Amino acid sequence: MQKRVRVFAPASAANLGPGYDLLGVAIGGVGDEVEVRLAPEADGLFIESIEGDGGRLPLKADENTAGIAALEVLKLLGKEDVGIALHLKKGLPLGSGLGSSGASAAAAVQAINVLFGEPLEKKDMLHATMVAEASVSGWHADNVAASLFGGLILIRSYEPLDWMRFDVPEAMRFVLVKPDTALETKKARAAVPTEIPIKQHIANSGNLAAMIGALGMKDIKRFGAAIQDVIVEPARAPLIPGFHAVKRAALEAGAYGCSISGAGPTIFAIVDSDELAQRVAKVMQDAFMQDAQLDSFVTIGHVDLDGARQIDLPVT
């Protein structure tokens, strides 16, 4: 058992067009950190502090996704009574479509696991992250699984839970542009239709299958071309000012595919080089400003293949 550990979990982009609640991919370079330490004076787990959230997140462990996930893993380990202090460092904005709550949950479960010597495999902790995510955005695993395992995740089934992890071509880059506005996940999920015509089902199923096939072929262009969603994207687009202008600009600049990241308002585009990524990012930002008078923030990332992992403790 260690006395103090720190874990990083990457951001994620979910849905990826036609894969609503089924696809998620871990984005390298950005994410959340959770630090836990033994606190013999305490009775159980408590959240000691949170930074980077502007005071918006609850400090009560059973009301915070990091706390809930950590508590669930402690139950698995039979260590609920062990005194543990948790510190959460938010590297991801709230309500952004970058899997902020999922990254916190993934970092928390791995932090507790490492603290006790890693008795659990990551797959054993997925349910714990889903319980945490359900507290804020419903029962789904696409974000949390991507942040926990890394790579691209396909959820084949929820009952019973069955998932597959894919590596992606090394050159694949995600351009993520977040407008200076927030969109609550619950509001975005409420916009999704509960019944659809069979024609739309066929279209999305074909595109989802093509995306998975393109991964096997290591074909980034075909993967991007299949990012076409005729069900969820049209329902959520009105919630994101400037969406259509931004998507059009990205595709005209050479992006292979473009859609809403998770619940939004972040919009992602797929490219295959850093040079193209910079060009696409600029036109997407310009479109947000010109069409919606919104500043925006850019993240350009490769696919994170490691997921939640221990990192060095800060020097004090």
Q: What is the pLDDT of residue 68?
A: 98
In this model, does residue 58 exceed pLDDT 80? yes
Taking the whole predicted model, whether its pTM rises above 0.85 is answered as yes
* The CATH fold of domain 4-167: Ribosomal Protein S5; domain 2 (3.30.230)
- Is 315's pLDDT higher than 80? no
Dist CA 177 CA 267 (whole Å): 5
- Is the pLDDT at 172 greater than 80? The verdict is yes
Q: Residue 249 pLDDT more than 90?
A: yes
CA 156 vs. chain centroid, Å, equals 18
Return the domain boundaries, the chain: 4-167, 173-301
| E-only strand ranges, 60-213 | 84-89, 152-158, 161-166, 173-179
Angle (nearest 5°) at CA 142 between 181 and 137: 50
- Residue recorded with tokens 């351009």: 175
Residues in the chain: 316
CB 227 within 8 A of CB 16: yes
Instruction: Please give the average per-residue pLDDT across 209-214, as a whole number.
Output: 97
In this prediction, residues 54-82 reach a mean pLDDT of 96
What is the pLDDT confidence band of residue 186, given thresholds at 50, 70 and 90?
confident
Contact criterion met (CB below 8 Å) for 99 and 11: yes
Residue 46 above 90 pLDDT? yes
Nearest C-alpha neighbor of 270 from the set 215, 221, 231, 232: 221
Q: How confident is the model at residue 316 (pLDDT cuts 50, 70, 90)?
A: low
Mean pLDDT of the chain: 95
Confidence of residue 138 (pLDDT cuts 50, 70, 90): confident
Quote the longest CA-to-CA distance of the chain. Answer: 61
Instruction: Name 27's bridge partners.
Output: 11, 303
- 294 CA to centre of own chain: 23
Over residues 251-260, the mean pLDDT reads: 98
Query: CA-based angle 23:108:123, to the nearest 5?
Result: 50
- Cα–Cα distance between 109 and 111 in angstroms, integer? 5
What mean pLDDT do residues 79-84 have?
Answer: 96
> What's the rounded Cα separation, in Å, for the pair 266 and 14?
11
Give the pLDDT score at 139.
87
Name the band, by pLDDT with cuts 50, 70 and 90, for residue 65: very high
pLDDT computed for residue 307 by the predictor: 98
Confidence class of residue 2 from pLDDT cuts 50, 70 and 90? confident
Q: Which CATH class is domain 173-301?
A: alpha beta
Percent of the chain with pLDDT strictly greater than 90: 91
pLDDT of res. 199: 98
Q: Is the predicted pLDDT of residue 95 greater than 90, yes or no?
A: no
Lowest mean pLDDT among 134-138, 168-172, 256-260, 287-291: 134-138
Task: Quickly state the pLDDT bin for 34 (edges 50, 70, 90).
Answer: very high
